[in-house]
Structure 1
Amino acid sequence: MSGICGIIHLDGRPVDRVQLEQMARRAAYRGPSSVEFHLDGPVGLASLSLDVTPDGTGACHLAREDRHGLLFLADARLDNRDECAAASAQSVGKGATDVELMLGTLAQAGEEGPSRLLGDFAYALWDGRHRRLHLARDAMGLRPLYFRLEENRILFASEIQQILAVPGVPRRLNERAVAWHLCCMQTPPGEVFYSGIDEVRPAEEVVIDASAVKRSRIFWQPDPESRIRYRDERDYAAHLREILTTSVRARMRARDPVGISLSGGVDSTCVASLAGWLRQQGEDLPSMRAYSWVFPEAFAECDESETIYRIADHFRMPVTEIPAEQTSPLVDDHLNRPHEDDPFFSMFQPFMERSLTAAARDGVSTMFYGFRGDVICGGSVDDVPGILLGGHFGEVRRNLARLARIQSLGRQEAVTRYLLRPMILDLLKGHHPATWLDSLRGEKDSEASLKRLQASPSRHAERHVTLGFLDRKGLPAVEPHYLASRAWPRQAARDRYIHIASPLVVRGVGYAERMTARHGVGLADPWSDRRVADFILACPQHLVGTVLEPKRIARRAMVGIMPDEAIRSIGKVSPEGLYVDALRGRAHDKVLDLLTNSRCADLGCIDEPALKARFERFVGGKEPIFDLWPTLSLELWLRRYWA
Structure 2
Amino acid sequence: MSGLCGIIKFDGSPVDRAEVERMAARVAHRGPHGIHYHYQAGVGLACLSMDPTGDGTGACRPVVARRGRVVLAADARLDNRDECQQWDSQAAVIAGGKSRDGALPTDAELMLGALLDDGERRPGHLIGDYAYALWDAGRLELRLSRDAMGMRSLYYRVEHGRVLFATEVKQILAANNASRRLNEQAVAWHLAGMQTPPGCVFYEGIEEVKPGEEVLIDMLGHVRQRTVWQPDPDKRIRYRDEREYAEHFRELIVDAMRCRLRARNRVGVSLSGGIDSGTIATVAGWLGERGESASEIRAYSWAFNEFSECDERENSYRMAERYGIPIHEIPAEETRPLVDDAAHEPDEDDPFMMMYQAFVSRGLSAAAADRATVMFYGDRGDMICGNFLNDVPGMLGAGLVSQAYRELLLLSRIHGQSRISSVSRYVLRPTIASVVPPRVISKCRRKVLWLRLLATRKDGIHALRVRAGPGGRIGLYVRNSFLDRVKLPSQDPVYAAAAAWKQAATRQRYICIFAPFLTRGLIYNERECAKHGVEYSDPWSDRRIAEFILACPQHYVNRATEPKRIARRAMQEIMPDDAISSARKTSPSPLYEEALRNQAYEKVMQLITNSCCKERGYIDEFLLQEKFDDFVRGKISYFDIWSIISLEKWLKKYWCQS
- TM-score of Structure 1 vs Structure 2, range by shorter chain: over 0.9
- The structure 1 residue matched to 2:427, chosen from 392, 398, 419, is 419
Distance in 2 between residues matched to 1:623 and 1:424, nearest whole Å = 34
**Which amino acid in 2 is paired with 1:573?**
T
Q: Give the TM-score normalised by structure 1.
A: 0.96
- 1:141 corresponds to which of 145, 150, 165: 150
- In 2, the alpha carbon distance for the partners of 1:640 and 1:256 equals 37
**Residue 550 of structure 1: how far off its partner (Å):** 1.1
Q: Does 1:613 align with 2:613?
A: no
Partner of 2:384: 376
Residue deviations 1:370-408, cap 9 Å, x none?
000011111132211011112121222222222223333
Give the partner amino acid of 1:133.
L
Match of 1:90 in 2: 91
**Which string of whole-angstrom CA distances, capped at 9 and with x for unpartnered residues, describes residues 491-515 of structure 1?**
1111111111100000000100000
| Amino acid in the other structure paired with 2:588 | P
Aligned to 2:129: 120
Indicate the larger mover: 5-14 or 631-640: 5-14
Deviation at 1:306, TM superposition (A): 0.1
Q: Distance in 2 between matches of 1:19 and 1:235?
A: 55
How far does residue 429 in structure 1 lie from its aligned partner after superposition? 5.4
Tell me the equivalent position of 1:351. Answer: 359
Once structures 1 and 2 are overlaid, which stretch shifts more, 224-233 or 464-473?
A: 464-473
Sort the Cα spacing of 1:430 and 1:621 in 2 relative to 1 into closer, same or farther, 3 A.
closer
Task: Give the Cα–Cα distance (whole angstroms) in 1 for the partners of residues 466 and 414 of structure 2.
Answer: 21
Runs (4 or more) in structure 1 with deviation over 4 Å come to 443-455
Structure 1, residues 316-344: CA drift from partner, whole Å, max 9, x if none?
00111111121110011111111100100
CA distance in 2, matches of 1:539, 1:478: 27
Partners of 1:635 and 1:350 in 2: CA distance: 18
**What is the CA–CA distance in structure 1 between the aligned matches of 2:68 and 2:386, rounded to whole Å?**
46
Counterpart of 2:169 (choices 156, 160, 163) is: 160
Q: CA deviation at 1:540?
A: 0.4
Look up the match of 1:479. Answer: 492
Contact 1:254 1:286 in 2 (8 A): yes
Matched, 1:400 2:413: no
Contact 1:208 1:214 in 2 (8 A): yes
Count of residues in Structure 1 that have an aligned counterpart in Structure 2: 637
Q: Give the residue type in structure 2 aligned to 1:536.
A: I
CA distance in 1, matches of 2:395, 2:549: 16
Query: Is residue 326 of structure 1 aligned with residue 334 of structure 2?
Result: yes
Q: 2:649 aligns with which of 633, 636, 641?
A: 636
Q: Which moved more, 1:504-513 or 1:34-43?
A: 34-43
Question: Structure 2: how far apart are the matches of 1:552 and 1:603?
Answer: 48
Q: Pairwise mapping of residues 549-588 of structure 1 onto structure 2 (< 5 A)?
A: 549-588=562-601
Partners of 2:450 and 2:466 within 8 A in 1: no
Superposed displacement of residue 103, structure 1 = 0.3
Shift in CA distance, 215/558, structure 1 to aligned 2, threshold 3 Å? same
State whether structure 2 residue 204 is matched by structure 1 residue 203.
no
Contact 2:466 2:472 in 1 (8 A): no
The residue matched to 2:573 in structure 1 has which SS? coil
Please give the alpha-carbon distance, in whole angstroms, between the structure 2 residues aligned to 1:444 and 1:291: 50
Which residue does the alignment assign to 1:73?
A: 73
1:279 aligns with 2:288: yes
Q: Where do residues 438-457 of structure 1 align in structure 2 (5 Å cutoff)? A: 445=448, 447=450, 456-457=469-470
User: 1:1-24 CA deviation, whole Å, 9 max, x = no partner?
Assistant: 100000111233211110010000
Q: 1:151 aligns with which of 156, 160, 170?
A: 160
Residue type matched to 1:369 in 2?
A: Y
Letter paired with 1:511: Y
Q: Could you tell me the percent identity over the aligned residues?
A: 53
Q: Does 1:55 align with 2:64?
A: no
Q: Which residue of 1 aligns with 2:15?
A: 15
C-alpha displacement at 1:434, in angstroms?
A: 7.9
Distance 2:384 2:509 in 1: 7
Q: How does 1:212-223 map to 2 (within 5 A)?
A: 212-223=221-232
Q: Give the AA of the match of 1:598.
A: S
1:110 aligns to what SS in structure 2?
coil
Q: Does 1:251 align with 2:260?
A: yes
Contact 1:179 1:473 in 2 (8 A): yes
Q: Deviations over 1:217-250 (max 9, x none)?
A: 0110101111101111011111100001000000
Distance in 2, Cα, partners of 1:124 & 1:584: 47
Aligned twin of 1:519 = 532
Amino acid at match of 1:50: M
Q: What residue is the counterpart of 1:2 in the other structure? A: 2
Mark the CA change 1:400 to 1:455 in structure 2 (over 3 Å): closer, same or farther. farther
The one-letter code of the counterpart of 2:97 is G
Of 115-124 and 599-608, the range deviating more from structure 2: 599-608
Q: How far apart in 1 are the matches of 2:79 and 2:567?
A: 22
Match of 2:461 in 1: none
**1:295 corresponding residue in structure 2:** 304
User: SS at 1:239's partner residue?
Assistant: helix
Match of 2:554 in 1: 541
Superposed CA deviations along residues 27-81 of structure 1, whole A, max 9, x for unmatched, are 0000000101111132101100001000111000010111682100100101111
- CA separation of 1:347/1:201 partners in 2, compared to 1, >3 Å: closer, same or farther? same
Q: Are 1:172 and 2:185 counterparts?
A: no
User: Taking structure 2 as the reference length, what is the TM-score of the superposition?
Assistant: 0.94
What is the Cα deviation at residue 446 of structure 1? 7.5
Looking at structure 2, the residues matched to 225 and 556 of structure 1 have their Cα atoms a distance apart, in angstroms, of 26
Q: Could you report, residue by residue, the CA deviation over 1:458-509 in whole angstroms, capped at 9, with x for unpaired residues?
A: 1221222223312321211010010111111111111111111100000000
Distance in 2 (CA, whole Å) between partners of 1:581 and 1:320 is: 25
Contact 2:5 2:165 in 1 (8 A): yes
Gaps of at least 5 residues in structure 2 are: 99-103, 455-464
Between the aligned partners of 2:313 and 2:248, the Cα distance in structure 1 is 30
- Distance in 2, matches of 1:145 and 1:169, equals 17
Selected match of 1:388 from 390, 396, 417: 396
1:335 aligns with 2:343: yes
**Residue of structure 1 in register with 2:42 after alignment:** 42
CA change 1:17–1:278 in 2 (3 A) is same
1:177-222 CA distance string (max 9 Å, x none): 0000000000000000001000000001000000111101011010
How far is the alpha carbon of 1:116 from its aligned partner?
Answer: 1.4
| Cα distance in 1 between the residues matched to 2:524 and 2:69 | 35
SS of structure 2 residue aligned to 1:504: helix
Query: Retained in 2: the 8 A contact 1:273–1:311?
Result: yes
Distance in 1 between residues matched to 2:600 and 2:508, nearest whole Å: 37
Contact residue 261 and residue 293 of structure 2 kept, 8 A: no
Q: Secondary structure at the match of 1:527?
A: helix
**Change in CA separation of 1:446 and 1:611 when aligned onto 2, cut-off 3 Å:** closer
